[in-house]
């Protein structure tokens, strides 16, 4: 069975429901256990109220430790071994828990084994001049009771990175014992040590009653504590049915609240996950279209690092793609467009003829190019190609498209330009081109070129027909003495 958010939330609900049912059942059994002399309902209710409130204190402490231990910044501060980062994170946590003391301890810190012998996850208490859980010496006089829990910190690979230790003073524990009804003649809050022997943490009432066996022993789940009760002998009949209904009501309310919380969690997480998945899809779509936005925001903090990595990879991919596309579109020698780019541009212009646009093209051939190669070598010929391409770019409009078709043959596309205007541009180009070019040190070449000019016609059956006409005009210019431009006034028959 594949996991889904709905199944995970359902499993979480069932697990919480099982825990809730177990806790309520346990408390019910403890509260409904037969007591010597059938003890009063008020006494049972008062005792359970005290134990529930004590459990609420310890559960809150344990939940806080678990939450802190699972936080990514806590894991990072212990995983990287930086003392400064660990203390900084400890100070941040302390700011959110001003009524408690918080420690982040690395795995090798001896404080864990020196001061905390109770099982992890378990809440326990310390008191006395040694100073509760921090190990700091206290001023003279009795030290206040403090409770403490230790929670391991593990990373995503379940490697132990350290411990979260939380402790807080709880003077209200004595008040909770004192609030028990008078029928509870004597009560003790006890804690077992490593040898499983119980020590008394707090006491209340007539200690003379302790000569007999306890009337009741209540273990407090999740702690090393138990409540021992010695009751007065006065019997008062209780109503077990009413007590059971009260526990059922608590269970029903807890079930309802758990269902609502899980439903809210499913709704919020579902929206956040769908939003982040849409953002990831947008990122990959942009990469596929060779573009990138300034940023892609992750809704969930857990995805932020992944988003940042994907964004950096996307930028590298798009940049490389643009570089490759740019290099593929250029002629490596003259640094003007190559023949493939020329054909794509010509095809693009040809499609607009049906909409009434007019375009022209000029094909150019460097005169005496073969003589340069034969006389001065191919380096001089390459230099002539490079400088000729640069001269074209320097003396044509930014909107004109320049391409090298091969050898010493170049072509210029004049978008949105009728033949008459293109003729003027060709004449201006010839007048502005440099008369000579220095190809090699001491080698100066007189620059002359022949050209053929034609206009694209919407009646042409293909985009290459205008190029064919211009090529014929170029051949005519060469036959009539070179260094001139011939124009095709109308389409060839």
For the cut 60, the answer to whether the pLDDT of residue 59 exceeds it is yes
Residue 204, pLDDT score: 83
pLDDT digits (tens, 9 = 90+) for 275-285: 888 888 888 88
Tokens at residue 25, please?
A: 């059942």
Average pLDDT of the segment spanning 175-181:
74
Which residues, 6+ apart, have CB-to-CB distance to 345 below 8 Å? Answer: 337, 401, 403, 413
Does 138 score more than 60 pLDDT?
no
Mean pLDDT of 221-243: 73
The answer to whether 167 and 132 are in contact (CB under 8 A) is yes
C-alpha distance from residue 126 to each of 118, 146, 203, 260, 267 (Å):
11, 6, 15, 38, 43
Q: In which residue are the tokens 């996991």 written?
A: 3
pLDDT beyond 60 at 38: no
Contact 404, 336 (CB under 8 A): yes
Of 129-138, 426-435, 442-451, give the lowest mean pLDDT range.
129-138
Q: Is 202 exposed, middle or buried (0-12, 13-18, 19+ CB in 10 A)?
A: buried
Whether residue 53 has pLDDT greater than 60: yes
Cα angle 322, 325, 330; round to 5: 125
| pLDDT at res. 186 | 84
396-414 pLDDT tens trace: 999 999 999 888 899 999 9
Q: Dump strand ranges (E) for 399-491.
A: 401-406, 409-414, 436-440, 443-446, 449-455, 485-487
pLDDT for 137 equals 45
Question: What number is the average pLDDT over the span 291-315?
Answer: 77
Q: How confident is the model at residue 106 (pLDDT cuts 50, 70, 90)?
A: confident
| Predicted local distance difference test score (pLDDT) of residue 127 | 61
Mean pLDDT along residues 436-459: 90
Q: What is the pLDDT of residue 143?
A: 56
What pLDDT sits at residue 132? 44
DSSP 8-state secondary structure symbol assigned to residue 191: E
CA distance 235 to 317: 83
Q: Where are the domains of the chain?
A: 1-36+238-328, 39-236, 339-487
Q: How sure is the predictor about 326, in pLDDT bands with cuts at 50, 70 and 90?
A: low
CA separation for the pair 278, 284 (Å, rounded): 10
Over residues 445-460, mean pLDDT: 92
CB neighbourhood size of 1 (10 A): 4
Q: What percent of the chain has pLDDT over 90?
A: 24
More confident residue, 258 or 243: 258
Q: What Å distances lie between residue 192 and 85, 117, 226, 247, CA to CA?
A: 36, 11, 8, 29
Work out the mean pLDDT of the chain and round it to a whole number: 82
State mean pLDDT over 239-259.
Answer: 83
Cβ-in-10-Å burial (0-12, 13-18, 19+) of 341 comes to middle
Which among 136, 79, 92 is positioned nearest to 111, based on CA atoms?
136
User: Which pLDDT belongs to residue 79?
Assistant: 86
Q: What is the pLDDT of residue 1?
A: 59
* pLDDT at residue number 414: 95
The topology under which CATH files domain 39-236 is Beta-Lactamase (3.30.450)
- Average pLDDT for residues 202-210, to the nearest whole number? 83
Q: Which residues pair with 361 in a beta bridge?
A: 413, 454
Distance CA 2, CA 291 (A): 35
Rounded to an integer, the average pLDDT of 393-398 is 91
Range in 162-166, 275-279, 408-412, 416-420 with the lowest mean pLDDT = 275-279
- Which pLDDT does position 345 carry in this prediction? 92
| DSSP structure string for 53-114 | HHHHHHHHHHHHHHHHHHSHHHHHHHHS--HHHHHHHHHHHHHH-TTSEEEEEETT-THHHH
pLDDT over 70 percentage in the chain = 85
Distance (Å, whole) CA 148 – CA 123: 5
CATH fold group of domain 339-487? Alpha-Beta Plaits (3.30.70)
Residue 231 corresponds to which tokens in the numbers above? 């009751």
Q: Check pLDDT > 70 for residue 415.
A: yes
Task: Give the range among 70-84, 94-108, 130-144, 461-475 with minimum mean pLDDT.
Answer: 130-144
């Amino acid at each position: 069975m594949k996991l889904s958010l709905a199944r995970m939330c359902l499993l979480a609900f069932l697990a919480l429901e099982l825990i809730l049912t177990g806790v309520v059942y346990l408390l019910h059994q403890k509260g409904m256990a037969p007591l010597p002399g059938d003890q009063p309902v008020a006494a049972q209710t008062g005792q359970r109220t005290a134990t529930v409130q004590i459990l609420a204190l310890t559960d809150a402490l344990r939940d806080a430790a678990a939450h802190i231990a699972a936080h990514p910044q806590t894991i990072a501060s212990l995983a990287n071994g930086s003392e400064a980062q660990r203390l900084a994170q400890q100070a941040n946590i302390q700011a959110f828990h001003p009524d408690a003391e918080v420690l982040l301890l690395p795995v090798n810190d001896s404080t864990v084994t020196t001061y905390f012998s109770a099982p992890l996850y378990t809440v326990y208490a310390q008191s006395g001049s040694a100073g509760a859980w921090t190990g700091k010496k206290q001023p003279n006089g009795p030290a206040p009771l403090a409770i403490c829990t230790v929670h391991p910190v593990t990373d995503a690979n379940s490697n132990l990175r350290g411990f979260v230790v939380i402790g807080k003073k709880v003077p209200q524990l004595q008040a909770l014992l004192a609030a028990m009804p008078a029928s509870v003649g004597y009560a003790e809050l006890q804690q077992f040590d490593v040898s499983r022997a119980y020590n008394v943490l707090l006491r209340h009432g007539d200690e003379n009653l302790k000569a007999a066996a306890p009337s009741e022993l209540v273990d407090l789940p999740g702690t090393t504590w138990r409540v021992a009760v010695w009751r007065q002998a006065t019997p008062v009949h209780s109503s077990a049915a009413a007590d059971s209904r009260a526990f059922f009501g608590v269970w029903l309310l807890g079930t309802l609240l758990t269902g609502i919380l899980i439903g809210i969690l499913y709704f919020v997480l579902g929206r956040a996950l769908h939003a982040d998945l849409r953002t990831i899809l947008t990122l990959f779509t942009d990469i596929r279209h060779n573009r990138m936005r300034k940023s892609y925001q992750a809704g969930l903090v857990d995805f932020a690092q992944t988003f940042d990595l994907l964004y950096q990879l996307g930028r590298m991919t798009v940049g490389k793609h643009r570089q490759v596309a740019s290099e593929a579109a250029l002629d490596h020698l003259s640094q003007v467009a190559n023949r493939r780019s020329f054909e794509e541009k010509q095809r693009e212009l040809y499609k607009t003829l049906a909409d009434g646009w007019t375009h022209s093209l000029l094909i150019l051939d460097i005169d005496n190019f073969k003589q340069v190669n034969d006389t001065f070598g191919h380096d001089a010929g390459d230099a002539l190609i490079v400088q000729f391409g640069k001269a074209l770019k320097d003396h044509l409009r930014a909107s004109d498209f320049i391409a090298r078709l091969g050898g010493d043959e170049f072509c210029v596309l004049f978008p949105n330009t009728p033949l008459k205007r293109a003729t003027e541009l060709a004449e201006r180009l010839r007048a502005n081109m440099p008369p000579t070019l220095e190809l090699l040190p001491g080698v100066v070449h007189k620059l002359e070129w022949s050209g053929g000019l034609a206009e694209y016609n919407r009646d042409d059956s293909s985009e290459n027909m205008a190029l064919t006409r211009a090529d014929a005009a170029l051949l005519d210019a060469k036959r009539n003495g070179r260094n001139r431009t011939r124009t095709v006034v109308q389409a060839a028959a």
